[in-house]
Amino acid sequence: MSLAMIEVKDLVKNYGKHTAVDGINFRVRKGEIFGFLGPNGAGKTTTLNILAGLSLPSSGVATIAGLDITKHPIGCKKRLGIATQDANFDHHLNIKDNLYYQGLLYGLSRKELKIRVEAALSWAKLGKYRKKHFHQLSGGMQRRLVVARAMLSDPEIILLDEPTTGLDPQSRRQVWDYIKDLKEKGKTVLLTTHYMEEADVLCDRISIIDNGRIIACGTPDELKKVLNNDIVIDIALDPAVVNVVNRHIEKDLRNISGVNYIKRSDNGIRIGVGDDAVIEQVLNSIITKYKISGINIIHPTLEDVFLHLTGREMR
């Protein structure tokens, strides 16, 4: 088994009588992007803050590159960079000076730190904005800067708490490219999000967290397999003949293996199939015989998985 960069066992965090993290277990492997997907209040930030040494666990164990976070807090901090949900930039300083002064905390020499700050600004493509203040940057630039700050000490592991919340789709995609670049640099990334698409696109593996508990963990494809019917083929038929044709189609498809269900609808028929290979077979058998007015192929999303597991929508 590949090395666990982060390992969490039976982690609990209580705030008074409220249990924010309720006995979670997970491992993040070296070089992977691991996602924590869950709704508001699920316990994502609490877990990240514990890993980053910003908060103490009530019970349980967490290790960073094999080091126990409570016994070796400094060693753990050296291996980690965190981009918090709250940016915390000093509004009196420009972004370059912000990076410089925050970087002093890592104990680097001034010369080395200056090189790192330049590298961070250049990586985030913010070199020409160095004299600007944080609030003068666009939302996308701000998020890039926050991620770049997490990389100042060149850590092996980067924790990103909701790196794209509040961004428009285009800026979000840009930040995704930066996160993919971290992986290409060999970093291990643990990120939190409540965007299903983000988790799906970026993450090698995902833990779905709800009410402080991990309710499912796996690759995006593995998670989608918990749904009984993988892919839905929605076929619209000519309204004049729909009631006759959909009965014929139903008969034709009954013998195709991999067809999980067939449901007649008002304007056509819905077919649930196990995998992509069956789609072609189903479509061939229909298109050659009947006149159809539309086809829509719906792949299951993590939204469907969350709904299936909790009975609720995430938002």
For ligand ATP, give the closer residue by CB, 153 or 192.
192
Choose which of 11, 45, 64, 145 interacts with ligand ATP (CB under 6 A).
45
User: Which residue has tokens 């100042």?
Assistant: 152
Q: Which two tokens stand for residue 193?
A: 């999000």
Q: Does 193 help bind Mg ion (rule: CB under 5 A)?
A: no
For ligand ATP, give the closer residue by CB, 82 or 242.
82
Q: Where are the beta strands (DSSP E) in 33-140?
A: 33-37, 59-64, 67-68, 80-83
Burial 132-145 (b: 16+ CB within 10 A, else e): ebbeebeebbbbbb
**Least gap, CB of 57 to Mg ion (angstroms):** 17
Question: CA-CA distances (angstroms) from residue 240 to 123, 250, 283, 296?
Answer: 60, 18, 21, 20
Convert 166-177 into a string of H (helix), E (strand) and C (coil). Answer: CCCHHHHHHHHH
Q: What is the C-alpha to C-alpha distance for residues 90 and 78, in angstroms, rounded to an integer?
A: 23
172's contact among ligand ATP, Mg ion, none, with CB below 5 to 8 A by partner kind, is: none
Asked whether 159 and 193 are in contact (CB, 8 A), the reply is no
- The type of residue at 208 is I
58's contact among Mg ion, ligand ATP, none, with CB below 5 to 8 A by partner kind, is: none
**Least gap, CB of 44 to ligand ATP (angstroms):** 3
19 contacts: CB under 8 Å, gap ≥ 6: 12, 13, 212
For ligand ATP, give the closer residue by CB, 19 or 102.
19
Choose which of 8, 36, 38, 45 interacts with Mg ion (CB under 5 A).
45
**Least gap, CB of 213 to ligand ATP (angstroms):** 12
Report residue 285: phi and psi, to 5°. Answer: -70, -25
Q: What is the C-alpha to C-alpha distance for residues 44 and 42, in angstroms, rounded to an integer?
A: 6
**Least gap, CB of 93 to ligand ATP (angstroms):** 27
- Residue whose CB is nearest to Mg ion in the complex, by number: 45
Q: Which two tokens stand for residue 256?
A: 């195709």
Asked whether 149 and 86 are in contact (CB, 8 A), the reply is no
Q: Does 46 help bind Mg ion (rule: CB under 5 A)?
A: no
What is the contact mask toward ligand ATP in residues 186 to 205, using x (rule: CB under 6 A)? --------x-----------
**Least gap, CB of 18 to ligand ATP (angstroms):** 6
For ligand ATP, give the closer residue by CB, 43 or 220.
43
Q: What is the C-alpha to C-alpha distance for residues 286 and 143, in angstroms, rounded to an integer?
A: 49
Q: Does 44 help bind ligand ATP (rule: CB under 6 A)?
A: yes
**Least gap, CB of 19 to Mg ion (angstroms):** 16
Tell me which residue of 61, 58, 70 sits closest to 17, measured CA to CA: 58
**Least gap, CB of 75 to ligand ATP (angstroms):** 25
What is the contact mask toward ligand ATP in residues 4 to 43, using x (rule: CB under 6 A)? -----------x--x-x-----------------x-xxxx
Q: Which residues are near ligand ATP by CB under 6 A? A: 15, 18, 20, 38, 40-46, 85, 194
Q: Which residues are near Mg ion by CB under 5 A? A: 44-45
